[in-house]
Amino acid sequence: MTTRTSDQQHAATSTVLIVDDHPVLRRGLAALIESESDLVVCGEAATGKEALDLVCAKQPDAVIVDITLEGSDGLALIKTMRSRHPNVPALVLSMHDESAYAERSLRAGAKGYVMKQQLDDTVIVALRCVLAGETYMSDAMKTRFATKFIGGRTLETGSPLGALTDRELQVFGMVGRGNTTRKIATELNLSVKTIESHLEHIKQKLTLGSAAELAQRATQWVETGDAG
C-alpha cells in the first residue's frame, strides 16, 4: 500500500478500505486511489472477517469489495456491513459481468458495481459517486434497469446464473475454487446434506448432468468470469 506524507494525509478527506484476496490487484487499486489528492487507503483485507474487523477499527468512508473472496462471500459481507455499519457504503469491484452480479450486489446493499476490466478512472468516478451518497451504475446497467421496470424482469434474466439463489451462487463459487462438499459445509456452518441439496438444485437449474460438469462450469466461472 502506498505511504503518504503527513501533508498528503492531512489533505485527504475520504478514507477507503480495499477488500480483495489478490494482493497484486489490491496494490494496483491502492496506487490508483492514492493518486487522488483527496482519497487515502486506510487498510486492506483479504477475507470477510478481516474486512469486518477493519471496518470497526478504521471506520472508513467507503469500502471496495470483491464479490468472490477466498473462504468467504462478498455478498454476505455486504449484507453484514449493511446491518452493522449502514453508513459505510460498499462499491463492488468484480471480474464477473454485470448481468450476473450487479442486481444481486445492489439488493445486498452495495451502492455500485464496477467490473475489474474497468480498473481505471471508472473506479474513481464510481468511488466518488458512492462517497457522495449516490448509487453508481454503468450506462449499460442503467439500460438494463430501465428494461426491467418496463418489462417486469430482473437484470439477471439473460445470465445462466440468474436462476440461482444467493446461497446457491455462493456454493457454486466455492466449488469453482476447488472446495469439497464437506469443506463447503464446514465453511458455511451447514450440514453436508444441505450442501448436497444446493448442488442438486444448481445442476438442475444449469441443466448439468453430473458433479464433474458442475465443477468444470464453476471453475470456468471463477477463473474467467464466464458462466458459459
Question: Of 82, 110, 141, at which residue does a domain stop?
Answer: 141
Domain count across the chain? 2
Mean pLDDT across the stretch 18-38? 93
Burial of 145 (0-12, 13-18, 19+ CB in 10 A): middle
Note whether 166 and 64 are same-domain residues: no
Predicted confidence band of residue 204 (pLDDT cuts 50, 70, 90): very high
Note whether 122 and 214 are same-domain residues: no
Q: pLDDT (tens digit, 9 = 90+) per residue, 175-199?
A: 988 889 999 999 888 999 999 999 9
In a domain, 155, yes or no: no
Note the pLDDT of residue 148. Answer: 65
Note whether 63 and 168 are same-domain residues: no
Higher pLDDT, 203 or 104: 203
Question: Taking the model in full, what pTM does it have?
Answer: 0.73
Note whether 133 and 169 are same-domain residues: no
Note the pLDDT of residue 221. Answer: 80
Q: Whole-number mean pLDDT of the chain?
A: 85
Q: From the CA atom positions of the chain, what is the Rg in Å?
A: 18
Q: Which DSSP state fits 97?
A: -
Cα angle for residues 137, 25, 215 (degrees, 5° grid): 85
**Residue 6 pLDDT greater than 80, yes or no:** no
Of 145-149, 165-169, 200-204, highest mean pLDDT: 200-204
Amino acid at 130: V
In a domain, 71, yes or no: yes
Cα angle for residues 94, 12, 1 (degrees, 5° grid): 50
Give dist(CA 103, CA 95) in Å, integer: 15
In a domain, 199, yes or no: yes
Mean pLDDT across the stretch 28-55? 94
Give dist(CA 170, CA 168) in Å, integer: 5
Structural element, H or E, at residue 64: strand 62-65
Domain that holds residue 42: 6-141
Q: pLDDT (tens digit, 9 = 90+) per residue, 119-160?
A: 678 999 999 999 999 999 887 777 776 766 665 555 445 567
In a domain, 147, yes or no: no
Note whether 39 and 94 are same-domain residues: yes
Predicted confidence band of residue 18 (pLDDT cuts 50, 70, 90): very high
Note whether 203 and 90 are same-domain residues: no
